[in-house]
Amino acid sequence: MKHYDPPKKDLWTGRISNKWLYLHEKVHCTPLEEIPEAQKKSIALLGYACDEGVRRNQGRVGAADGPDAIKSSFGKMPNHLGSNVLLHDVGSVVCSNGDMESAQEQLAEAVATLLERKQFPIVLGGGHDMAYGHYNGIKKYLDAKKEGQTIGIINFDAHFDLRKNTEQSNSGTPFYQIVQDCQKEGIDFNYLCLGIRKDANDRHLFETAKDLNVIYVMCETFQPAFLQEITTFINAFTKNVDQVYVTIDLDGFSSAFAPGVSAASPMGFTPHMVLECLKTIITSGKLISLDIAEMNPKYDIDGQTAKLAASLVHHVAHAVSGS
């Protein structure tokens, strides 16, 4: 399979209990083409080893190594998943020779395959250009069911990522590309951004967001004091869509928590806020898939960002499986 690497067993190491006390003992390394149709709750970890979009967007490259760093950190964590829950590492989509567009297409195919086989996909990146491929994979799966289901995107991020792709697509354009596709098909673009910063988006991006009726919460409001109001926003948003796709850009967090990203800033949000919001989203019963973007081991400090990403995966995996 082009643009794909199978799972690496040597990533999954840690304490040995022989009792599945740790996630590296629980995981099954299963190539994507061999993933079975789940007969019970099953979670599939898929990497997106690509930072070509970050390079094109003049960011700090290195996020192509993000998926392996997150998996390695996740494997060392305690396993509280029920015995009735399966966990698979299905390898990574890769970007060869700067061909990001083909990597996005491969990601869409992979996500659609996982959903068809009743897996819950958690995609690990990699640049935020992954969002375009991920969304298209969800859409391909839903379109095949011919039920006309709507998708709502919830993005935890400092950036709108609504830059116009007038030259080349990149890590700052995925949601504008989705807008263009929605307009061609005459369907609604449902987009909620949490943690937007004025120092991370120029005025044209705010104008674009307004023109597209994007719902967003500024970073200074994305705080515990306003959690009740934010929960209301999330509930209203999820109520009006059939399925929810969540994407978490690690550069939205303060660099105190996430130094290892492509565009670090001390002015971001906290893990606590994201966890509280994820609780609300998962409770809606509409979360279909999730990804974590912009993990850059090259700039990480003591594996802190990888641990943050792994902890988010740990939280979501246990929450969606009811463990």
Residues at the binding site for Mn(2+) are 128, 157, 159, 161, 249, 251
Name the binding residues: 128, 157, 159, 161, 249, 251
Closest CA to 121 of 258, 304, 247: 247
Q: Are 2 and 106 in contact (CB under 8 A)?
A: yes
Q: DSSP letters along 200-250, please? A: GS-HHHHHHHHHTT-EEEETTTSSGGGHHHHHHHHHHHHHT-SEEEEEEEG
Between CA 1 and CA 160 the distance in angstroms is: 33
E strand or H helix that includes residue 46: strand 42-49
Residues in the chain: 323
Give me the phi and psi of 271, to 5 degrees please. Answer: -60, -35
Q: What's the count of helices (H) and strands (E) in the chain, helices before strands?
A: 10, 10
E strand or H helix that includes residue 67: helix 66-75
Closest CA to 192 of 174, 177, 169, 209: 209
E strand or H helix that includes residue 110: helix 100-116
Classified as helix, coil or strand, 146 is: coil
171: DSSP letter: T
Measure CA 145 to chain center: 23
Classified as helix, coil or strand, 45 is: strand
